[in-house]
Chain A
């Protein structure tokens, strides 16, 4: 690619990034500030993270899945149970697509074994 085209490419990319930031700023202004979500770890999840719970700040309209992604980033060992766990939101099982709200309580539920 010629030098000038590359500069034009970079400039376009920069403009796109600025546009996206503006959009997300506007989105943030429209739907509110970051939301705080408390995550509880049980059984194997607690062993893998070393924590019983953690408080996360998430962008507004984050989903439970977004939260899980953030947790996997912070605690890569959670990969071990990612495919067998389910999540609970405010003490009820919930799909990962559920949109979170401020002060929600998310629980990581590894495969259960009561009884």
Chain B
């Protein structure tokens, strides 16, 4: 497995080489578990059995591993810059992933659940938009390389000279102050007024 620690080894980022073994979800959940965290948010992407009416037999994944690890590190940094987080974990499986099994898993822990949930969402959205991993959908009578809509939307930014740099999260000053004071019981969450998600 190709692994990469995050800032100060807080984050666990792994790309799992082809193997029949499913992702060990508990491993990543346990990594983000933190005594200071009030919330752990996770996302599991699973192979589904149907696409546009066609029966999917399996998905096959491949990756440009060194660059994928690099992108995942950058995505975790961007998440940390945008939300107050405790720990992060991302795992992506390569090779054949049968129907029902997880191909990707993201986990985020934070003091408050809004930050954990938003960061977890951000991680998977960014995987879809910018991490060089590809999947082939295999049917009974053919196979096709899939294309993420998120990538097609992000493509121009990726190919331009101004992307992949500083985060662009805009936080209103009052909201930032409120975020520090809010408790877990408050459904307004962090109250942060983010105009744009971080550009990674």
Using CB atoms and an 8 Å cutoff, list the residues of chain A in contact with chain B: 40, 42-44, 84, 86-88, 91-98, 107, 109-115
Contact = CB atoms under 8 A, between A and B. Distances in A.
B128 interface: yes
Nearest to A40: B64
Chain B, interface SS category: mixed
18 contacts: A42-B64, A42-B132, A92-B67, A92-B70, A109-B64, A111-B147, A111-B152, A112-B148, A113-B147, A114-B61, A114-B68, A114-B92, A114-B104, A114-B132, A114-B134, A115-B92, A115-B103, A115-B133
A69 to B, nearest CB: 16
A98 B160 CA distance: 10
A9 to B, nearest CB: 42
Contact of B135 (A88, A97, A113): A113
B158 A93 contact: yes
Interface of B: 45, 61-64, 66-68, 70, 92, 103-104, 124, 127-128, 130-136, 145-148, 151-152, 155, 158-161, 163-164
Contact of B151 (A40, A92, A97, A111): A111
Contact of B155 (A44, A86, A114): A86
Contacts of A97: 161
Contacts of B68: 114
